[in-house]
Structure 1
């Protein structure tokens, strides 16, 4: 990865001030075909509302928001750690919305975000992480290379942004 990429955890104020930049990353990823809960066309207002909700979750200490910044300090990637869990699952967290802008891919940004989210999880006292991803996609291979264990595949779990069905692979990692 380029030494010019910095990974950081955003506090509530920083998360709020980054909503527009995060919406840009999300919009780019969905436009590129990423199945991350949104359909095409993705109205900007919808992307902004999503990230506003994430920022509010950061303020409530329900999630940890990490970003990757490029050489111009622009946000080029992000991942979330959902730490608000039921009483019998306080030892685990969900990893969600690992997104890298298409212009920043193949530079190790996703790998750096995943290493940082694991470090953040340890700092939160979490020992089990869970995530899901599109079956057969680049992210699935990334998680396998990073030592995540495949639990299984659910066929036709979600839709791609264009409306086609896709399977979802569930992963976990003991940290």
Structure 2
């Protein structure tokens, strides 16, 4: 398993992995109609992939804040400003690669990048994604509040907001 920076050549493989994860886990609740655009958003600051053999099996991105509840919660709680906050997003790993610590290693790459850039990472995760919540908590992410994730045409689902550990 190799964790490396995302390149444009990874887009098709990452999109295929995203569709596979959506089929097995229902994540993400949006973006699978056009997975390449969802992965390669203009708001991405940096991204990484997990590669096993020659196959992309996972992905994560650090994104600019775009009005996420987790950003607002952290700014209020920390008295920091949004310019010093990044959003960990677009994290997905195909089921067959989860026992190889791909998710943890992707998150470590994102956290390392954020620290080097002087950013504190936050995220929100839907309550239904219990395995993701276990991963975040095992890695020391701290719950900072709850929100509702709105998507589609008026759909909503409960979510929990987290902030990365300081060390």
- Shorter-normalised TM range: 0.7 to 0.9
Count matched residues. Answer: 151
Report the alpha carbon displacement of residue 165 of structure 1 after superposing the two structures with TM: 5.7
Unpaired runs of at least 5, structure 1: none
Q: TM-score, normalised by structure 1?
A: 0.74
SS at match of 1:125: coil
Aligned to 2:105: 112
- What corresponds to 1:67 in structure 2? 49
Identify the residue that residue 37 of structure 2 maps to in structure 1.
49
1:24 Cα shift?
Answer: 0.6
- Aligned-pair distance for 1:166? 3.4
User: What are the superposed Cα offsets for residues 108-133 of structure 1, whole Å, 9 maximum, x if unpaired?
Assistant: 1111111111111112222x111011
TM-score (norm 2): 0.77
CA contact (8 A) 2:65 2:82 kept: no
Instruction: Give unpaired runs (5+ residues) of structure 2.
Output: 68-80
1:149 to 2:145 alignment: no
| 1:134 shift after superposition | 1.7
- Change in 2 beyond 3 A, CA 1:85/1:167: closer
1:18 aligns with 2:10: yes
- 1:119-171 CA distance string (max 9 Å, x none): 11112222x1110112151000110110101012235x357xxxx96321100
- The Cα RMSD (Å) is 2.7
